[in-house]
Amino acid sequence: LARDKNELNASQKSLAVRRIPSLLEYLSYNLNFMGILAGPLHSFNDYISFIEGRNFEMRTKPLANGKKSNECLPDEPSSLGAVGRKILICAVCVFMHLSLLEVFPISYNTDDTFMVTASIPRRLLYLYISLLACRPKYYFAWTIADAVNNAAGFGFSGYDSRGNPRWDLVSNLNIIKVEFATSLKMFIDNWNIQTALWLKEVCYDRCPFNPTLVTFFLSAIWHGVYPGYYFTFITGMLMTLAARTVRNNLRPRFLVSPTRKAFYDVVTWATTQMVVSYTVTPFVLPFVDSSIKFYRTWYFGLHIIAFILILVLPKKRSCTSKEQKLLVTKQTVIMHHCNGQLNGRALVDSYQNHQMKID
């Protein structure tokens, strides 16, 4: 309400509320039955558009070449397929959680006998599997909440290139990208998506100093007061800074050939999964004694490695001539494609609207 439109970026313009909501609108937004239990978080403008029936708009059918045909698509697409698929995902998640968690309890990571007798590779494998067994409960809660919103008609985000309706406006995760993330940024961008976007808009983009630290601290406060939450988010901040430094220094070296890139992706996937498991265990075992005991069993190893990487590696690395040539070639191809398909500024704005700049 107070800032001029010219001072806002594209994302802020789309989310800006230009009038004071009525009491009914305010209460409806905060207490509507669709999201009262598990959310997910969504913008006020999107919700009001849904309530007023403006979320379905007549759109022309996109063609493969990026142009639009004269054929109009229905203005009220059915959410039945999306809801059915998400309910099926929920059923699979419940089964996996109940079956795996009983076999691989996460508390076993701090079992005295296991810590003494198990080898390092075995402990790493168990750590990964036990955290993998924990995730389906979050997948279930967010996916069922998404399905409830879709069943009510909320969550439509437009059509894909084949003219099929998309129901991911309020989706809170992308399971495939989470499980196969090759960087912490990719994991964060696809886990609790709506909350990450909220943190980006209200904190990261506005913070005048050290936005990564402040954003992680706000996220910890938002989650609650358990000490394990703060262990997780402080560790997460450290790992994010270290991962950013490593990525800036190493990734360009592996982009010069498909073979190197494939090797890099495999190694970074395994590293990301181990770092995430190490980081979030105190979140699941949220008390002080269990959190410290877990990190002590690993001698705070990843904390020490992260500190060393941040201190030793340069923050930015200049590309070699071969890497620079490859980068310029890629940029040329991308911009040539964009000029024929989309406006370049719109592409950048679209990216900024949907990605958290945590990396």
What residues are labeled active site? 192, 223
| SS3 category, 313 | coil
In whole angstroms, what is the distance from residue 233 CA to residue 283 CA? Answer: 9
Count the Cβ atoms, other than its own, within 10 Å of residue 126.
17
In whole angstroms, what is the distance from residue 307 CA to residue 272 CA? Answer: 17
In whole angstroms, what is the distance from residue 184 CA to residue 187 CA? Answer: 5
Are 21 and 29 in contact, with CB atoms under 8 Å apart? yes
Are 109 and 294 in contact, with CB atoms under 8 Å apart? yes
Residue 68: its H or E element: strand 68-72
- In this structure, the strands spanning 165-166 and 68-72 are unpaired
Residues 6 or more apart whose CB falls under 8 angstroms from that of 82 comprise 147, 150, 155, 165, 167
Are 15 and 43 in contact, with CB atoms under 8 Å apart? yes
Distance of CA 46 to the CA centre of its chain: 20
Query: Looking up tokens 């919103």, which residue turns up?
Result: 149
Distance of CA 21 to the CA centre of its chain: 30
| SS3 category, 191 | strand
Residues 6 or more apart whose CB falls under 8 angstroms from that of 47 comprise 28, 29, 32, 154
